[in-house]
Structure 1
Amino acid sequence: RVHIGGKVVRDAALRVDMNRDRIVVDGDAVVAERKVYLMLNKPRGVVTTRDDPQQRDTVYACLEGLDLPYVSPVGRLDKASEGLLLMTNDTRFANRLMDPASHLPKTYHVQVATVPDETLLDRLRAGVTLDDEILTANAIELLRSGGRTAWLEIVLDEGKNRHIRRLLAAHGIEVKRLIRIAIGSLPLGNLAKGTARHLTAQELALLG
């Protein structure tokens, strides 16, 4: 019934590589689903789940009209956050990027409702411990300020739940906008908000 590489297989637990092994079931070849790698500029106010019990808008609305197999987000951006989100049907690729051991940096531009001086920036860089969880950043820099707000650039190589918001809130800093502008060396660029496109081979190479 099942042949892999020309040999009959009866072990249902046998691991196969769909990109390498020729698999035939009852005489019909099983073809691997094409791999899809997308970048999406997530708008504020949508969630990254497929089906939301609260009937909120999801990122999948941004994919309507595209001829795609089922794809999943690589990691998350919370509802109030914006910017670069990867989506794929390649679980190996997704797991590699999400593995904490990869230390893949992610860069954010964050608008805050205060203008931090260097002393406050140093306190942010030192990190905080909340509920036995250490929250730190690889880098925090002041990009610009005006009036009562400022923009910070924050780089993380880990992604704890609401990491940046909790780190800033611990110092009494309100987040007004949070935009992910890069994953590793892959920039969001000028991709329009709420739209998605396929990654190029060169862009995939930037992600290793």
Structure 2
Amino acid sequence: MANSRITTAPSPLSTSIWLPGPRDVETSPAFPAVLPDWAIDKVRTEFTHRPGHQPAPLWRLAIRDTDSGMDVHTPCVADHLPDGGKSRRTPVILAELHPDTLPAAAPHTHYGTDEQGAIDDGWPGFFHRTHRLLRADGLLLVAARQRRDAGALTDPLGLLIATARTAGFRYLQHFVIVHGHAVEDRIVPAPPEGAPPGLIHSDLLVLRAEGSRP
């Protein structure tokens, strides 16, 4: 069961489970990143490599807030290609959203627009700007995890998916990144350092840019 992908049914959108392999160590990524190294390696394998094609670059964004000017102070790490050259393929963008940075904004919150007509602030602005950056069919991966509010775990995925769709993204798939190891017929939890009680997984959403936006 270790290091396997399990697809559930009959969901119209497939949900897959990623478990670390027996030699993978569950390390806590530096704030505000979300995914452990073994999951990043699987992202590269699944989404940046196609047989017979040059690998696509992976751009990793560790988003710590959605304040004005977030694009300037959000760290971005780009993978180097094996041959040191430049790829002509559209990059795959991985945005890791630490739960402490997720806003408590409701879907109907009002946002201003910039000179290009895209919503400027918060998550709507982020998704619109990212859609303009990606070519049609480009992939945006969003990694997030639950947080504890008023004693209960809250899930940010619904708001994020709805906001991404408004910006022109199509929601393709959901991966569950398990923080634990398979031992015989059970999973032994190995939550990240500082995780709220009860958290055993992170989530990875796969979004595809559709068409063109103004």
Does the pair score TM above 0.5? no
TM, length-normalised to structure 1? 0.26
TM, length-normalised to structure 2? 0.26
Who wins on radius of gyration, i.e. which is larger? 1
